[in-house]
Structure 1
Amino acid sequence: MNSLPGRAAPASPSAPGALSAWMTPLEITLLGAIWGASFLFMRIAAPQFGAVPLVELRLGLGALVLLPFLWRSRAAFPPALWPKLALIGAINSALPFILFAWAAERAPAGIGAIANAMTVLFTALVAFLFFGEKIGRRRAVALFAGFAGVVVLASGKSAGVSVGWAVVAGGLASFLYGVGLNLVKRHLTGLPPAAVAAATLGCSALLVLPFAVATWPSQPVTPAAWTSAVALGVLCTGAAFVMYYRLIARIGPTRASTVTYLIPVFGVAWAWWLLGEPVTWTMAVAGATILGSVAFSQRGGAR
């Protein structure tokens, strides 16, 4: 996996380049399916665990999966760096995870999956507002369209009940992702990404632990909820981060970020297939609007 194709023999059907040609789309699709499933698992587990205990399990299990990467690079993490890691972990992991889990208690899984797509646009907005980066006309138009999609999404109902507050929670979580990604870019560049993920998840787990203990469910939790919680931490957090960073190392962050378009699609599809959640017209219109705005915002950068 760490070989350099540029130094290999001329390409052939069995050469690494030919293998990557079909492996990369397959891995991006698989990653989109895994991250899309995270909203399904939250929808199953959050009503029984509660948002905070579920997120504690997610953070702790995810950190354990990634711990070998942190141990291997431990010399790059001096004590003075850990307060910064804890702050970024709270912004980029703990709080967004809690908000999405809270939304999953109150709205279909697809709602959070669609709102999550705003992360790309919020990252650009935060860079413009707080870090002096130019946003450009294309991204400004995309932001306007994306916000319009969020308004449409918030106007919908599920089983006759408004999902507006769940959309607000998902939008705020995506905004925090945007803040966190900008902080990682500016303060943690040069550190091994998988080790950074392990450190921030671990710090977040310690921060959330007292609140999780205080709100731990008093009633027994079903095996389905436990299975979903474990899958959320091990598969959708720990293993998915490993896959994502491997993709970034091989094809670069721009191409790897195309997984953004697949997460809402899989999130809605999993919930429809396995939970029987309906796909409403507001979800369809909002999803198309938000994903279209994300695609429009990235066209110039891709070229």
Structure 2
Amino acid sequence: MSLAIRVSILDLLSLLTMNLIWAGTYPATAVALISISASLLTLIRLGTGSLVMLPFLWRNVRIWSGRTILRTAFLGVIGFSLPLVLQTQGLKASTPAMAAISIALEPLMTAVMASVLLKEHLSHARKWALAIAAFGAWAVAGFPRPGVKGYITGDILLVLAILCFAVYNVYSSSLSRHLSPGQATAGTFLGGFLGTIPIWLITGAKWPATWHPASIMATVYLALLGTALAYFLWMHTASRIPVALMALFLYLQPVLGVVLSMLLTPTHLSGSFVIGSLAILGALYIGRDKAPMPSASA
């Protein structure tokens, strides 16, 4: 059965929108760091996200048991506090090559964890799809080679961040089926915000003396779109379709990132980009969902 039949148009648009937004977070992060520290940027992103999503938090208060609160707080810390600081600092201390490869690692880790921890069936076709998509992401990035001498700390931080993101991706799907997408997003944002405060204090509680205009615009983009909107869309879609299938769509980020660069700057369309894009599109077709979709009340 085709992807279009198994995934609704709304789900497809949500997947495309969130990955388009996330593709822009990498250059936006680099610009935001001109004025502020990694921990403060994370604090601002999660604080803004918490405020935007706060109205959802109080709906059906009776559903918030002690176990649910602890589970949501854990996801907030492991999915936002730690990885956003690690990723932001890693992007600052690593190379564009490793950043590109880290994008390819996240969906692969997510799919493997979903198979092991959630017992989601990972068919041979989807395994091939993940491998082909990983190659495609590498090709889109221009076949970079990580491990440049002097950048090992940044490389390790990026890998740790991707590991945290993968844990969040896997367990957020089950949380979004227990709570509403809005409640799950608001709860994890608040947990992440509270978890980032001690990290900011430990790292010196730095506040910029001056704000660069471009840094302000990048921070607004990261807070409102890269955090509040994109993660709400993730929670909403994760309550409807399998995590392994969503992980495949994460491979669109490097493709969309190059497309954004082409629209904003005179970027040359390389042969490796064409090869990689075709590989990723082919992987999406190979890995399309043929199994019955899980119920949102499961």
- Whether TM-score is above 0.5 comes out as yes
Partner of 1:225: 215
**What is the CA distance between 1:69 and its match in structure 2?**
1.1
**CA distance, structure 2, for counterparts of residue 131 and residue 280 of structure 1:** 39
Cα separation, 1, equivalents of 2:13 and 2:264: 22
Gaps of 5+ in 1: 1-19
Match of 2:74 among 87, 92, 103: 87
**1:175-194 aligned within 5 A:** 175-186=163-174, 189-194=177-182
Note if 1:100 corresponds to 2:87.
Answer: yes
Superposed displacement of residue 167, structure 1:
5.7
Closer, same or farther: CA 104–135 of 1 in aligned 2, 3 Å: same
What is the rounded CA distance, in whole Å, between the counterparts of 1:279 and 1:49 in structure 2?
33
Q: Does 1:138 align with 2:122?
A: no
Q: CA offsets per residue over residues 119-149 of structure 1, 9 Å max, x none?
A: 3322221133444444333344445556667
Corresponding residue for residue 207 of structure 1: 195
| Cα distance in 1 between the residues matched to 2:96 and 2:278 | 18
Cα drift, residue 91 of structure 1: 1.7
Classify 1:27/1:191 alpha carbon distance in 2 versus 1 (closer, same or farther; 3 Å): closer
CA change 1:100–1:275 in 2 (3 A) is farther
1:134-173 matched pairs, under 5 angstroms: 134-145=121-132, 156=144, 169-173=157-161
1:295 maps onto 2:295 in alignment: no
Give, in whole Å, the separation in 1 of the partners of 2:117 and 2:215: 40
> Is the contact between residue 108 and residue 134 of structure 2 (CA under 8 Å) also seen in structure 1?
no
Read off the aligned partner of 2:161 and give its amino acid letter.
Answer: A
CA distance in 2, matches of 1:147, 1:247: 22
Could you report, residue by residue, the CA deviation over 1:263-283 in whole angstroms, capped at 9, with x for unpaired residues? 32232333465477888888x
CA contact (8 A) 2:36 2:208 kept: no
Query: What is residue 235 of structure 1 aligned with on the other side?
Result: 225
Q: Residues 220, 235 of structure 1: CA spacing in aligned structure 2 closer, same or farther, 3 A cutoff?
A: same
Whether the 8 Å contact between 1:142 and 1:297 is mirrored in structure 2 is yes
Q: Counterpart in 1 of 2:103?
A: 116
| 1:238-283 residue CA offsets vs partner (Å, 9 max, x unmatched) | 133445556678xx4369947535432232333465477888888x
Encode CA deviations 1:167-204: one digit per residue, 9 max, x unaligned: 65444433322222322334563211121111011111
Tell whether the 8 Å contact from 2:104 to 2:137 is kept in structure 1 after alignment.
no
Check conservation: 1:86, 1:204, Cα contact below 8 A: yes
**1:144-176 Cα shifts (integer Å, max 9, x gaps):** 556667877697379x98877656544443332
SS at match of 1:199: helix
Other-structure match for 1:63: 50
- When residues 244 and 128 of structure 1 are mapped into structure 2, their CA distance, relative to the original with a 3 A threshold, is closer
- Alpha-carbon separation, structure 2, partners of 1:111 and 1:162: 13
Count the aligned residue pairs.
Answer: 279
CA separation in 2, counterparts of 1:108 and 1:277?
Answer: 19
CA RMSD of aligned residues (A): 4.3
CA distance in 2, matches of 1:154, 1:265: 11
Among 246, 254, 263, the residue aligned to 1:264: 254
2:4 alignment counterpart: none
Change over 3 Å in CA distance of 1:65–1:36 after alignment to 2: same
Question: 2: CA distance between counterparts of 1:61 and 1:181?
Answer: 21
* Cα distance in 1, alignment partners of residues 150 and 268 from structure 2: 14
- AA partner of residue 20 (structure 2): A
| TM-score, structure 1 as length reference | 0.70
Report the counterpart of residue 25 of structure 2 in structure 1: 38
The share of aligned pairs that are identical, in percent, is: 23
The superposition leaves residues 46-72 of structure 1 with CA deviations (integer Å, 9 ceiling, x where unpaired) of 243122111111111111111111122
Correspondence for 2:64: 77
Q: Using the alignment, how far apart are the partners of 1:97 and 1:136 within structure 2?
A: 31
Distance 2:152 2:131 in 1: 19
Comparing 174-183 with 202-211, which one deviates more in the overlay? 174-183
Residues 145 and 290 (structure 1 numbering): CA distance in 2 closer, same or farther, change over 3 Å? same
Q: CA deviation at 1:225?
A: 0.8
Contact 1:156 1:163 in 2 (8 A): no
Q: Distance in 1 between matches of 2:90 and 2:238?
A: 30
